[in-house]
Amino acid sequence: MAANPEHHDVLVVGAGFSGLYLLHRLRQRGLQAHLVDRAPSVGGTWYWNRYPGCRCDVESMTYSYSFDEELEQEWSWSARYADQPEILRYLNHVADRFDLRRDIQLETSVTAARWDEDASLWRVTTNHGEVTARWFVMATGCLSVPNTPRFPGLDRFAGAWYHTAAWPEDGVDFTGQRVGVVGTGSTGIQTIPQVAAQAEHLTVFQRTPNFSIPAWNGPMDPAAEAARKAIYRETRATARRGPTGDIWPESTSTALAVSAEEREAEYERRWHEGSFSFLSAFHDITTDEAANETAAEFVRNKIRATVTDPAVAELLCPYEHPLGTKRLCVDTDYYATYNRPNVTLVDIKHAPIEEITEAGLITGGTEYAFDSLIFATGFDGMTGALLAVDIRGRNDQSLRDLWAEGPHSYLGLTVHGFPNLFTMTGPGSPSVLSNMMTSIEQHVEWVDECIGHLSEQGQTTIEATPDAQADWDQQVHDEAYATLYPRAASWYMGANIPGKPRVFLPYIGGVGKYTEICADVAADGYRGFVVA
Ligand code: NA7
Protein backbone atom coordinates (compact mmCIF):
# COMPACT_ATOMS: atom_id res chain seq x y z
CA MET A 1 0.00 0.00 0.00
CA ALA A 2 1.33 3.45 -0.90
CA ALA A 3 2.35 5.66 1.99
CA ASN A 4 0.23 8.71 2.72
CA PRO A 5 1.43 11.67 0.69
CA GLU A 6 3.48 14.30 2.46
CA HIS A 7 1.15 17.03 3.75
CA HIS A 8 1.81 20.76 4.14
CA ASP A 9 -0.26 23.68 5.34
CA VAL A 10 0.81 25.59 2.26
CA LEU A 11 2.45 24.43 -0.95
CA VAL A 12 4.13 27.21 -2.91
CA VAL A 13 5.30 26.61 -6.48
CA GLY A 14 8.17 28.79 -7.66
CA ALA A 15 11.35 29.93 -5.92
CA GLY A 16 11.53 33.39 -7.45
CA PHE A 17 11.02 36.71 -5.71
CA SER A 18 7.43 35.99 -4.83
CA GLY A 19 7.73 32.39 -3.65
CA LEU A 20 10.76 33.10 -1.46
CA TYR A 21 9.13 36.03 0.31
CA LEU A 22 5.86 34.15 0.77
CA LEU A 23 7.69 31.20 2.32
CA HIS A 24 9.38 33.58 4.75
CA ARG A 25 6.12 35.30 5.72
CA LEU A 26 4.16 32.10 6.21
CA ARG A 27 6.87 30.56 8.36
CA GLN A 28 7.06 33.65 10.52
CA ARG A 29 3.36 33.21 11.10
CA GLY A 30 3.95 29.66 12.30
CA LEU A 31 2.46 27.95 9.27
CA GLN A 32 4.19 24.99 7.76
CA ALA A 33 4.98 25.91 4.18
CA HIS A 34 6.85 23.99 1.54
CA LEU A 35 8.24 25.45 -1.66
CA VAL A 36 9.06 23.55 -4.83
CA ASP A 37 10.75 24.65 -8.04
CA ARG A 38 11.72 22.78 -11.21
CA ALA A 39 15.12 24.56 -11.37
CA PRO A 40 18.27 23.31 -9.64
CA SER A 41 18.57 26.68 -7.86
CA VAL A 42 16.41 29.38 -6.37
CA GLY A 43 15.96 32.49 -8.53
CA GLY A 44 12.92 31.89 -10.73
CA THR A 45 13.15 33.80 -13.97
CA TRP A 46 16.54 35.16 -12.83
CA TYR A 47 17.91 31.66 -12.79
CA TRP A 48 16.85 30.81 -16.36
CA ASN A 49 17.47 34.11 -18.14
CA ARG A 50 21.27 34.31 -18.23
CA TYR A 51 21.77 35.49 -21.80
CA PRO A 52 24.47 38.12 -22.48
CA GLY A 53 23.23 41.56 -21.43
CA CYS A 54 20.47 40.28 -19.17
CA ARG A 55 19.69 42.82 -16.49
CA CYS A 56 16.66 44.30 -14.85
CA ASP A 57 15.24 47.37 -16.58
CA VAL A 58 13.87 48.74 -13.32
CA GLU A 59 16.41 50.38 -11.00
CA SER A 60 17.73 47.97 -8.40
CA MET A 61 17.02 50.23 -5.47
CA THR A 62 13.34 49.85 -6.28
CA TYR A 63 13.56 46.37 -7.80
CA SER A 64 14.51 44.76 -4.49
CA TYR A 65 12.71 43.60 -1.38
CA SER A 66 11.46 46.25 1.00
CA PHE A 67 10.14 43.96 3.73
CA ASP A 68 13.28 43.84 5.83
CA GLU A 69 14.97 47.11 6.70
CA GLU A 70 18.27 45.51 7.64
CA LEU A 71 18.47 43.67 4.34
CA GLU A 72 17.58 46.87 2.56
CA GLN A 73 20.29 48.85 4.33
CA GLU A 74 23.01 46.22 4.22
CA TRP A 75 22.74 45.14 0.61
CA SER A 76 24.62 47.23 -1.93
CA TRP A 77 23.88 47.06 -5.63
CA SER A 78 26.92 47.56 -7.81
CA ALA A 79 25.06 49.30 -10.63
CA ARG A 80 22.00 51.44 -11.19
CA TYR A 81 20.39 48.46 -12.95
CA ALA A 82 21.69 45.14 -11.64
CA ASP A 83 22.64 42.42 -14.08
CA GLN A 84 21.30 38.88 -13.87
CA PRO A 85 24.26 37.38 -11.95
CA GLU A 86 23.94 40.04 -9.26
CA ILE A 87 20.17 39.58 -8.92
CA LEU A 88 20.67 35.83 -8.65
CA ARG A 89 23.31 36.41 -5.93
CA TYR A 90 20.83 38.62 -4.10
CA LEU A 91 18.11 35.95 -4.20
CA ASN A 92 20.57 33.33 -2.96
CA HIS A 93 21.61 35.71 -0.20
CA VAL A 94 17.95 36.15 0.80
CA ALA A 95 17.44 32.37 0.82
CA ASP A 96 20.42 31.98 3.18
CA ARG A 97 19.77 35.03 5.32
CA PHE A 98 16.23 33.93 6.16
CA ASP A 99 17.17 30.24 6.34
CA LEU A 100 14.67 29.40 3.62
CA ARG A 101 16.43 26.47 2.02
CA ARG A 102 15.31 23.89 4.55
CA ASP A 103 11.75 24.23 3.20
CA ILE A 104 12.68 24.39 -0.47
CA GLN A 105 12.71 21.34 -2.71
CA LEU A 106 14.45 21.96 -6.03
CA GLU A 107 14.32 20.02 -9.29
CA THR A 108 10.69 19.33 -8.51
CA SER A 109 8.16 19.96 -11.26
CA VAL A 110 4.48 20.23 -10.54
CA THR A 111 2.46 18.66 -13.34
CA ALA A 112 -1.06 18.50 -11.95
CA ALA A 113 -3.14 19.62 -8.99
CA ARG A 114 -6.62 18.52 -7.99
CA TRP A 115 -8.97 19.92 -5.34
CA ASP A 116 -10.12 17.12 -3.08
CA GLU A 117 -13.65 18.14 -2.14
CA ASP A 118 -14.05 15.67 0.72
CA ALA A 119 -10.77 16.44 2.43
CA SER A 120 -10.79 20.17 1.54
CA LEU A 121 -7.24 20.14 0.32
CA TRP A 122 -5.16 20.13 -2.85
CA ARG A 123 -3.59 16.95 -4.17
CA VAL A 124 -0.55 18.02 -6.12
CA THR A 125 1.39 15.75 -8.48
CA THR A 126 5.12 16.31 -8.89
CA ASN A 127 7.86 14.32 -10.58
CA HIS A 128 8.65 13.00 -7.10
CA GLY A 129 5.12 11.86 -6.29
CA GLU A 130 2.03 13.38 -4.68
CA VAL A 131 1.87 15.96 -1.92
CA THR A 132 -1.19 17.45 -0.28
CA ALA A 133 -1.73 20.96 1.01
CA ARG A 134 -4.59 23.00 2.45
CA TRP A 135 -3.47 26.08 0.52
CA PHE A 136 -1.92 25.99 -2.94
CA VAL A 137 -0.01 28.98 -4.26
CA MET A 138 1.19 29.27 -7.84
CA ALA A 139 4.11 31.72 -7.58
CA THR A 140 5.26 30.67 -11.03
CA GLY A 141 5.91 34.09 -12.54
CA CYS A 142 4.49 35.93 -15.52
CA LEU A 143 7.37 35.30 -17.92
CA SER A 144 8.58 31.79 -17.25
CA VAL A 145 7.40 29.65 -20.16
CA PRO A 146 9.59 30.45 -23.17
CA ASN A 147 7.99 30.88 -26.57
CA THR A 148 10.00 29.07 -29.22
CA PRO A 149 8.18 29.46 -32.53
CA ARG A 150 7.85 26.24 -34.49
CA PHE A 151 9.98 27.23 -37.45
CA PRO A 152 10.03 24.32 -39.89
CA GLY A 153 13.39 22.63 -40.12
CA LEU A 154 14.78 23.71 -36.74
CA ASP A 155 15.91 20.17 -36.01
CA ARG A 156 17.96 20.21 -39.21
CA PHE A 157 20.13 23.16 -38.19
CA ALA A 158 23.75 21.98 -37.94
CA GLY A 159 24.90 24.86 -35.73
CA ALA A 160 23.87 25.57 -32.14
CA TRP A 161 20.63 27.32 -31.23
CA TYR A 162 19.58 28.94 -27.98
CA HIS A 163 16.48 30.49 -26.44
CA THR A 164 17.43 33.43 -24.28
CA ALA A 165 15.20 32.18 -21.45
CA ALA A 166 16.90 28.78 -21.27
CA TRP A 167 20.51 29.85 -21.60
CA PRO A 168 23.36 27.40 -20.87
CA GLU A 169 24.63 27.80 -17.33
CA ASP A 170 28.25 28.03 -18.50
CA GLY A 171 27.52 30.76 -21.03
CA VAL A 172 28.31 30.78 -24.73
CA ASP A 173 31.36 32.25 -26.48
CA PHE A 174 30.39 33.69 -29.87
CA THR A 175 33.91 34.84 -30.76
CA GLY A 176 34.59 34.35 -34.45
CA GLN A 177 31.03 33.18 -35.13
CA ARG A 178 28.30 34.21 -37.53
CA VAL A 179 25.27 34.64 -35.30
CA GLY A 180 21.60 35.26 -36.08
CA VAL A 181 19.16 36.74 -33.54
CA VAL A 182 15.41 36.47 -33.99
CA GLY A 183 13.41 38.92 -31.89
CA THR A 184 13.71 42.57 -30.96
CA GLY A 185 11.70 42.82 -27.74
CA SER A 186 13.24 43.80 -24.37
CA THR A 187 15.42 40.68 -24.42
CA GLY A 188 16.67 41.04 -28.00
CA ILE A 189 17.40 44.70 -27.39
CA GLN A 190 19.52 43.80 -24.34
CA THR A 191 21.43 40.97 -25.94
CA ILE A 192 22.04 42.32 -29.47
CA PRO A 193 24.70 44.92 -28.46
CA GLN A 194 26.53 42.31 -26.35
CA VAL A 195 26.54 39.61 -29.01
CA ALA A 196 27.51 42.15 -31.68
CA ALA A 197 30.59 43.08 -29.65
CA GLN A 198 31.74 39.46 -29.60
CA ALA A 199 30.59 37.79 -32.80
CA GLU A 200 32.32 38.05 -36.14
CA HIS A 201 29.00 38.97 -37.70
CA LEU A 202 25.51 39.42 -36.28
CA THR A 203 22.32 39.38 -38.31
CA VAL A 204 19.20 40.62 -36.55
CA PHE A 205 15.83 39.38 -37.82
CA GLN A 206 13.23 41.96 -36.88
CA ARG A 207 9.49 41.40 -37.22
CA THR A 208 8.27 44.46 -35.31
CA PRO A 209 10.49 47.38 -34.35
CA ASN A 210 10.14 48.51 -30.75
CA PHE A 211 10.51 51.76 -28.87
CA SER A 212 13.52 51.76 -26.61
CA ILE A 213 14.69 54.33 -24.05
CA PRO A 214 18.30 54.48 -22.87
CA ALA A 215 19.01 53.01 -19.44
CA TRP A 216 22.01 55.25 -18.73
CA ASN A 217 23.28 52.41 -16.64
CA GLY A 218 26.48 52.82 -14.67
CA PRO A 219 28.18 51.90 -11.42
CA MET A 220 26.19 52.77 -8.31
CA ASP A 221 27.21 56.18 -7.02
CA PRO A 222 27.90 55.71 -3.27
CA ALA A 223 26.54 59.16 -2.46
CA ALA A 224 23.32 58.51 -4.37
CA GLU A 225 22.99 55.12 -2.69
CA ALA A 226 23.43 56.63 0.78
CA ALA A 227 20.94 59.39 -0.01
CA ARG A 228 18.36 56.86 -1.15
CA LYS A 229 18.95 54.62 1.83
CA ALA A 230 18.31 57.55 4.13
CA ILE A 231 14.80 57.91 2.74
CA TYR A 232 14.15 54.31 1.77
CA ARG A 233 10.92 54.03 3.80
CA GLU A 234 9.40 57.07 2.12
CA THR A 235 10.34 55.95 -1.38
CA ARG A 236 8.92 52.48 -0.81
CA ALA A 237 5.66 54.02 0.40
CA THR A 238 5.58 56.26 -2.68
CA ALA A 239 6.06 53.21 -4.91
CA ARG A 240 3.17 51.41 -3.25
CA ARG A 241 0.80 54.37 -3.59
CA GLY A 242 1.56 55.31 -7.20
CA PRO A 243 0.23 53.78 -10.41
CA THR A 244 3.43 52.07 -11.55
CA GLY A 245 4.93 50.71 -8.33
CA ASP A 246 7.93 52.93 -8.97
CA ILE A 247 8.88 56.36 -7.73
CA TRP A 248 9.22 58.69 -10.69
CA PRO A 249 6.83 61.63 -10.72
CA GLU A 250 3.66 61.28 -12.77
CA SER A 251 2.83 64.31 -14.86
CA THR A 252 -0.58 65.87 -14.41
CA SER A 253 -0.54 67.76 -17.70
CA THR A 254 -1.60 66.57 -21.12
CA ALA A 255 0.88 66.43 -23.96
CA LEU A 256 -1.08 68.71 -26.28
CA ALA A 257 -1.84 71.34 -23.64
CA VAL A 258 1.76 72.56 -23.66
CA SER A 259 3.73 74.16 -26.48
CA ALA A 260 5.81 72.00 -28.82
CA GLU A 261 8.98 73.41 -27.22
CA GLU A 262 7.86 72.58 -23.69
CA ARG A 263 6.83 69.11 -24.80
CA GLU A 264 10.19 68.41 -26.45
CA ALA A 265 12.00 69.74 -23.38
CA GLU A 266 10.05 67.38 -21.13
CA TYR A 267 10.68 64.40 -23.41
CA GLU A 268 14.36 65.32 -23.55
CA ARG A 269 14.52 65.54 -19.76
CA ARG A 270 12.81 62.16 -19.32
CA TRP A 271 14.97 60.61 -22.08
CA HIS A 272 18.04 61.63 -20.09
CA GLU A 273 16.54 60.31 -16.87
CA GLY A 274 16.18 56.97 -18.64
CA SER A 275 13.85 54.01 -18.43
CA PHE A 276 10.08 53.93 -17.93
CA SER A 277 9.79 57.44 -16.50
CA PHE A 278 9.49 58.46 -20.15
CA LEU A 279 5.97 57.01 -20.32
CA SER A 280 4.88 59.28 -17.48
CA ALA A 281 6.06 62.50 -19.18
CA PHE A 282 2.40 63.40 -19.82
CA HIS A 283 -0.55 61.70 -18.26
CA ASP A 284 -2.35 61.04 -21.54
CA ILE A 285 0.46 59.32 -23.46
CA THR A 286 -1.15 55.91 -23.07
CA THR A 287 -4.73 57.08 -23.51
CA ASP A 288 -4.72 59.66 -26.32
CA GLU A 289 -3.52 58.78 -29.78
CA ALA A 290 -2.38 62.27 -30.73
CA ALA A 291 -0.53 62.71 -27.44
CA ASN A 292 1.08 59.33 -27.90
CA GLU A 293 2.21 60.22 -31.41
CA THR A 294 4.22 63.20 -30.08
CA ALA A 295 6.17 60.86 -27.78
CA ALA A 296 6.53 58.23 -30.51
CA GLU A 297 7.90 60.74 -32.99
CA PHE A 298 10.35 62.03 -30.39
CA VAL A 299 11.81 58.52 -30.07
CA ARG A 300 11.83 57.99 -33.84
CA ASN A 301 13.85 61.20 -34.18
CA LYS A 302 16.32 59.85 -31.65
CA ILE A 303 16.66 56.69 -33.75
CA ARG A 304 17.19 58.74 -36.91
CA ALA A 305 19.82 60.85 -35.13
CA THR A 306 21.68 57.77 -33.88
CA VAL A 307 21.64 55.34 -36.79
CA THR A 308 23.81 56.60 -39.64
CA ASP A 309 22.25 54.60 -42.50
CA PRO A 310 18.85 56.26 -43.10
CA ALA A 311 17.31 53.08 -44.53
CA VAL A 312 18.32 51.08 -41.44
CA ALA A 313 17.11 53.89 -39.17
CA GLU A 314 13.72 53.89 -40.87
CA LEU A 315 13.44 50.12 -40.55
CA LEU A 316 14.08 50.49 -36.81
CA CYS A 317 11.34 53.12 -36.40
CA PRO A 318 8.12 51.71 -34.93
CA TYR A 319 4.88 52.87 -36.54
CA GLU A 320 2.57 49.93 -35.93
CA HIS A 321 1.71 50.36 -32.29
CA PRO A 322 1.40 53.35 -29.98
CA LEU A 323 4.46 53.93 -27.79
CA GLY A 324 4.26 51.94 -24.56
CA THR A 325 1.49 49.59 -25.68
CA LYS A 326 4.10 46.92 -26.31
CA ARG A 327 6.34 46.97 -23.29
CA LEU A 328 8.76 49.86 -23.60
CA CYS A 329 12.32 48.58 -23.93
CA VAL A 330 15.28 49.97 -22.02
CA ASP A 331 18.69 49.65 -23.61
CA THR A 332 22.39 50.28 -23.55
CA ASP A 333 23.67 51.23 -27.02
CA TYR A 334 20.93 49.35 -28.87
CA TYR A 335 20.36 51.68 -31.80
CA ALA A 336 24.06 52.59 -32.10
CA THR A 337 24.84 48.89 -32.53
CA TYR A 338 23.43 49.14 -36.05
CA ASN A 339 26.31 51.46 -36.97
CA ARG A 340 28.77 48.61 -36.47
CA PRO A 341 30.15 47.13 -39.69
CA ASN A 342 29.52 43.59 -38.41
CA VAL A 343 25.77 44.03 -37.83
CA THR A 344 22.99 43.57 -40.41
CA LEU A 345 19.28 44.19 -39.86
CA VAL A 346 16.84 42.05 -41.83
CA ASP A 347 13.12 42.82 -42.01
CA ILE A 348 11.04 39.68 -41.54
CA LYS A 349 7.72 41.49 -41.31
CA HIS A 350 7.32 41.49 -45.05
CA ALA A 351 9.32 38.35 -45.72
CA PRO A 352 8.81 36.00 -42.74
CA ILE A 353 11.22 33.22 -41.89
CA GLU A 354 10.31 30.43 -44.29
CA GLU A 355 12.38 27.63 -42.85
CA ILE A 356 15.49 26.77 -40.93
CA THR A 357 18.03 24.89 -42.99
CA GLU A 358 21.12 22.92 -42.13
CA ALA A 359 23.22 26.04 -42.72
CA GLY A 360 20.93 28.75 -41.34
CA LEU A 361 17.58 30.16 -42.33
CA ILE A 362 15.68 31.33 -45.37
CA THR A 363 13.69 34.53 -45.58
CA GLY A 364 12.54 36.32 -48.73
CA GLY A 365 14.13 33.55 -50.80
CA THR A 366 17.60 34.29 -49.38
CA GLU A 367 19.50 31.84 -47.23
CA TYR A 368 21.59 33.25 -44.37
CA ALA A 369 24.26 30.94 -42.92
CA PHE A 370 25.11 30.86 -39.20
CA ASP A 371 27.19 29.09 -36.64
CA SER A 372 24.63 29.95 -33.93
CA LEU A 373 21.03 31.11 -33.81
CA ILE A 374 19.51 32.92 -30.85
CA PHE A 375 15.76 33.06 -30.33
CA ALA A 376 14.83 36.09 -28.25
CA THR A 377 11.21 35.31 -28.98
CA GLY A 378 9.69 35.89 -25.57
CA PHE A 379 7.26 34.00 -23.40
CA ASP A 380 3.78 32.64 -23.11
CA GLY A 381 3.13 35.52 -20.73
CA MET A 382 1.00 35.58 -17.60
CA THR A 383 -1.08 32.44 -18.23
CA GLY A 384 1.63 30.13 -19.64
CA ALA A 385 3.02 28.81 -16.36
CA LEU A 386 -0.40 28.54 -14.71
CA LEU A 387 -1.84 26.51 -17.56
CA ALA A 388 1.27 24.37 -17.91
CA VAL A 389 -0.01 22.57 -14.80
CA ASP A 390 -3.24 20.59 -15.15
CA ILE A 391 -5.13 22.35 -12.35
CA ARG A 392 -8.57 20.98 -11.53
CA GLY A 393 -10.94 22.58 -9.06
CA ARG A 394 -14.41 21.64 -7.86
CA ASN A 395 -16.20 18.97 -9.93
CA ASP A 396 -12.97 18.23 -11.75
CA GLN A 397 -13.27 21.58 -13.57
CA SER A 398 -10.09 22.21 -15.53
CA LEU A 399 -8.48 25.64 -15.37
CA ARG A 400 -7.34 25.18 -18.96
CA ASP A 401 -10.97 24.72 -20.07
CA LEU A 402 -12.24 27.57 -17.92
CA TRP A 403 -9.64 29.91 -19.38
CA ALA A 404 -9.93 28.64 -22.97
CA GLU A 405 -11.31 32.02 -24.09
CA GLY A 406 -9.13 34.02 -21.70
CA PRO A 407 -8.54 34.12 -17.95
CA HIS A 408 -11.21 34.77 -15.33
CA SER A 409 -10.22 35.76 -11.83
CA TYR A 410 -11.16 37.75 -8.80
CA LEU A 411 -8.44 40.35 -8.15
CA GLY A 412 -6.03 38.43 -10.38
CA LEU A 413 -5.41 36.28 -7.32
CA THR A 414 -8.18 33.72 -7.06
CA VAL A 415 -10.57 31.81 -9.32
CA HIS A 416 -14.16 30.75 -8.66
CA GLY A 417 -14.37 26.96 -8.49
CA PHE A 418 -10.75 26.68 -7.32
CA PRO A 419 -10.88 27.13 -3.54
CA ASN A 420 -7.66 27.96 -1.69
CA LEU A 421 -5.72 28.47 -4.91
CA PHE A 422 -3.78 31.75 -5.19
CA THR A 423 -2.19 32.96 -8.42
CA MET A 424 0.60 35.35 -7.50
CA THR A 425 0.81 38.35 -9.87
CA GLY A 426 -1.74 36.48 -12.00
CA PRO A 427 -3.72 37.77 -14.96
CA GLY A 428 -6.12 40.42 -13.73
CA SER A 429 -3.52 42.01 -11.42
CA PRO A 430 -1.12 44.89 -12.20
CA SER A 431 2.02 42.69 -12.20
CA VAL A 432 3.85 43.18 -15.50
CA LEU A 433 2.56 46.74 -15.93
CA SER A 434 4.28 47.73 -12.72
CA ASN A 435 7.56 47.42 -10.91
CA MET A 436 7.12 43.69 -10.22
CA MET A 437 8.73 43.97 -6.80
CA THR A 438 6.03 46.28 -5.51
CA SER A 439 3.29 44.07 -6.91
CA ILE A 440 4.90 40.89 -5.64
CA GLU A 441 5.23 42.21 -2.10
CA GLN A 442 1.64 43.43 -2.12
CA HIS A 443 0.36 40.03 -3.26
CA VAL A 444 2.53 38.10 -0.82
CA GLU A 445 1.36 40.21 2.10
CA TRP A 446 -2.30 39.96 1.09
CA VAL A 447 -2.16 36.18 0.67
CA ASP A 448 -0.20 35.69 3.88
CA GLU A 449 -2.68 37.81 5.83
CA CYS A 450 -5.62 36.02 4.24
CA ILE A 451 -4.32 32.54 5.05
CA GLY A 452 -3.25 33.71 8.50
CA HIS A 453 -6.62 35.29 9.25
CA LEU A 454 -8.58 32.25 8.10
CA SER A 455 -6.33 29.86 9.99
CA GLU A 456 -6.75 31.88 13.19
CA GLN A 457 -10.53 31.76 12.73
CA GLY A 458 -10.43 28.01 12.20
CA GLN A 459 -11.73 28.43 8.66
CA THR A 460 -10.44 26.13 6.01
CA THR A 461 -11.61 27.40 2.62
CA ILE A 462 -11.90 30.62 0.69
CA GLU A 463 -13.38 30.86 -2.78
CA ALA A 464 -14.31 33.77 -5.03
CA THR A 465 -17.99 34.14 -5.83
CA PRO A 466 -19.04 34.04 -9.50
CA ASP A 467 -20.45 37.58 -9.22
CA ALA A 468 -17.30 39.06 -7.73
CA GLN A 469 -15.26 37.36 -10.43
CA ALA A 470 -17.50 38.53 -13.28
CA ASP A 471 -17.38 42.06 -11.91
CA TRP A 472 -13.58 41.97 -11.65
CA ASP A 473 -13.20 40.57 -15.19
CA GLN A 474 -15.31 43.49 -16.39
CA GLN A 475 -13.19 46.03 -14.50
CA VAL A 476 -9.99 44.57 -15.96
CA HIS A 477 -11.49 44.81 -19.44
CA ASP A 478 -12.92 48.32 -18.99
CA GLU A 479 -9.71 49.75 -17.56
CA ALA A 480 -7.75 48.31 -20.49
CA TYR A 481 -10.12 49.56 -23.17
CA ALA A 482 -9.97 53.07 -21.76
CA THR A 483 -6.33 53.08 -22.94
CA LEU A 484 -4.45 52.52 -26.19
CA TYR A 485 -2.91 49.25 -24.96
CA PRO A 486 -5.33 46.80 -26.61
CA ARG A 487 -4.36 48.21 -30.03
CA ALA A 488 -0.99 46.48 -29.98
CA ALA A 489 -0.42 42.83 -30.92
CA SER A 490 1.51 42.43 -27.70
CA TRP A 491 2.11 39.63 -25.24
CA TYR A 492 -0.05 41.67 -22.82
CA MET A 493 -2.84 40.73 -25.26
CA GLY A 494 -1.66 37.15 -25.73
CA ALA A 495 -1.02 38.05 -29.37
CA ASN A 496 2.49 36.57 -29.54
CA ILE A 497 1.30 32.97 -29.13
CA PRO A 498 -0.55 31.40 -32.07
CA GLY A 499 -4.05 30.40 -31.00
CA LYS A 500 -3.95 32.19 -27.65
CA PRO A 501 -7.11 34.21 -27.03
CA ARG A 502 -6.62 37.94 -27.44
CA VAL A 503 -7.57 39.32 -24.06
CA PHE A 504 -5.78 42.12 -22.26
CA LEU A 505 -4.21 40.18 -19.39
CA PRO A 506 -2.99 42.55 -16.67
CA TYR A 507 -5.04 45.04 -14.63
CA ILE A 508 -4.13 48.52 -15.81
CA GLY A 509 -5.94 50.58 -13.17
CA GLY A 510 -2.67 51.20 -11.29
CA VAL A 511 -0.85 49.69 -8.33
CA GLY A 512 -2.08 52.19 -5.74
CA LYS A 513 -5.72 51.83 -6.71
CA TYR A 514 -5.44 48.05 -6.91
CA THR A 515 -3.75 47.85 -3.50
CA GLU A 516 -6.57 49.86 -1.96
CA ILE A 517 -9.19 47.60 -3.54
CA CYS A 518 -7.45 44.47 -2.19
CA ALA A 519 -7.08 45.99 1.28
CA ASP A 520 -10.70 47.06 1.28
CA VAL A 521 -11.88 43.58 0.27
CA ALA A 522 -9.97 42.07 3.19
CA ALA A 523 -11.11 44.72 5.67
CA ASP A 524 -14.69 44.09 4.59
CA GLY A 525 -14.51 40.46 5.73
CA TYR A 526 -13.18 39.20 2.39
CA ARG A 527 -15.97 40.71 0.36
CA GLY A 528 -16.67 38.72 -2.79
CA PHE A 529 -15.49 35.46 -1.27
CA VAL A 530 -17.24 32.58 0.39
CA VAL A 531 -15.28 31.67 3.49
CA ALA A 532 -16.06 28.45 5.33
P1 NA7 B 1 8.86 39.87 -26.41
O2 NA7 B 1 8.72 41.25 -25.91
O3 NA7 B 1 7.63 39.06 -26.58
O4 NA7 B 1 9.66 39.94 -27.78
C5 NA7 B 1 9.77 38.81 -28.60
C6 NA7 B 1 10.36 39.20 -29.93
O7 NA7 B 1 10.41 38.05 -30.75
C8 NA7 B 1 9.51 40.22 -30.67
O9 NA7 B 1 10.37 41.05 -31.40
C10 NA7 B 1 8.68 39.34 -31.58
O11 NA7 B 1 8.20 39.99 -32.72
C12 NA7 B 1 9.69 38.29 -31.94
N13 NA7 B 1 9.03 37.07 -32.38
C14 NA7 B 1 8.25 36.25 -31.67
N15 NA7 B 1 7.81 35.23 -32.43
C16 NA7 B 1 8.33 35.42 -33.66
C17 NA7 B 1 8.25 34.72 -34.89
N18 NA7 B 1 7.50 33.61 -34.99
N19 NA7 B 1 8.92 35.19 -35.95
C20 NA7 B 1 9.66 36.30 -35.83
N21 NA7 B 1 9.79 37.03 -34.70
C22 NA7 B 1 9.11 36.59 -33.63
O23 NA7 B 1 9.82 39.00 -25.47
P24 NA7 B 1 11.11 39.47 -24.67
O25 NA7 B 1 11.76 38.27 -24.13
O26 NA7 B 1 11.94 40.38 -25.48
O27 NA7 B 1 10.54 40.33 -23.51
C28 NA7 B 1 9.52 39.82 -22.67
C29 NA7 B 1 9.53 40.52 -21.36
O30 NA7 B 1 10.61 40.03 -20.57
C31 NA7 B 1 9.78 41.98 -21.41
O32 NA7 B 1 8.67 42.70 -21.77
C33 NA7 B 1 10.26 42.27 -20.03
O34 NA7 B 1 9.16 42.36 -19.16
C35 NA7 B 1 11.07 41.06 -19.70
P36 NA7 B 1 6.72 40.70 -32.67
O37 NA7 B 1 6.88 41.92 -31.83
O38 NA7 B 1 5.79 39.68 -32.04
O39 NA7 B 1 6.40 40.96 -34.08
First and final C-alpha spacing in the chain: 33
Q: Does any ligand 1 atom lie closer than 6 A to the CB of residue 381?
A: no
| Tens digits of pLDDT across the chain (532 residues) | 457 899 999 999 999 999 999 999 999 999 999 999 999 999 999 999 999 999 999 999 999 999 999 999 999 999 999 999 999 999 999 999 999 999 999 999 999 999 999 999 999 999 999 999 999 999 999 999 999 999 999 999 999 999 999 999 999 999 999 999 999 999 999 999 999 999 999 999 999 999 999 999 999 999 999 999 999 999 999 999 999 999 988 899 999 999 999 999 999 999 999 989 999 999 999 999 999 999 999 999 999 999 999 999 999 999 999 999 999 999 999 999 999 999 999 999 999 999 999 999 999 999 999 999 999 999 999 999 999 999 999 999 999 999 999 999 999 999 999 999 999 999 999 999 999 999 999 999 999 999 999 999 999 999 999 999 999 999 999 999 999 999 999 999 999 999 999 999 999 999 999 999 999 999 999 999 999 9
Of all protein residues, the one whose alpha carbon is nearest to atom 35 of ligand 1 is 186
CA–CA separation, 217 and 214 (whole Å): 8
| Ligand 1 centroid to residue 345 C-alpha, Å | 16
Q: Does any ligand 1 atom lie closer than 6 A to the CB of residue 186?
A: yes
Q: Does any ligand 1 atom lie closer than 6 A to the CB of residue 425?
A: no
185 Cβ partners below 8 Å, 6+ apart?
210, 326, 327, 329, 376, 378
Instruction: Write the DSSP symbol of residue 48.
Output: H
496 Cβ partners below 8 Å, 6+ apart?
147, 377, 378, 381, 489, 490
- Of 370, 409, 367, 362, the residue nearest 386 (C-alpha): 409
118 Cβ partners below 8 Å, 6+ apart?
none
Q: Is 404 helix (H, G, I), strand (E, B) or coil?
A: coil
Q: Does any ligand 1 atom lie closer than 6 A to the CB of residue 442?
A: no
Q: Does any ligand 1 atom lie closer than 6 A to the CB of residue 426?
A: no
Strands 390-392 and 110-116: parallel
| Ligand 1 centroid to residue 436 C-alpha, Å | 19
Instruction: Write the DSSP symbol of residue 2.
Output: P
E-only strand ranges, 436-486: 462-464
E-only strand ranges, 17-56: 33-36
| Ligand 1 centroid to residue 228 C-alpha, Å | 34
Predicted TM-score (pTM) of this structure: 0.97
Q: Hey, which of 57, 145, 151, 187 would you mutate to test ligand 1's pocket, going by the most ligand atoms within 8 Å of its Cβ?
A: 187
Please count the other Cβ atoms lying within 10 Å of the Cβ belonging to residue 279.
20
Q: Does any ligand 1 atom lie closer than 6 A to the CB of residue 185?
A: yes
| Ligand 1 centroid to residue 287 C-alpha, Å | 23
| Ligand 1 centroid to residue 347 C-alpha, Å | 14
Q: Does any ligand 1 atom lie closer than 6 A to the CB of residue 417?
A: no
Contact (Cβ atoms closer than 8 angstroms) between residue 407 and residue 399: no
Q: Does any ligand 1 atom lie closer than 6 A to the CB of residue 501?
A: no
User: Chain-centre distance of CA 314, in angstroms?
Assistant: 29
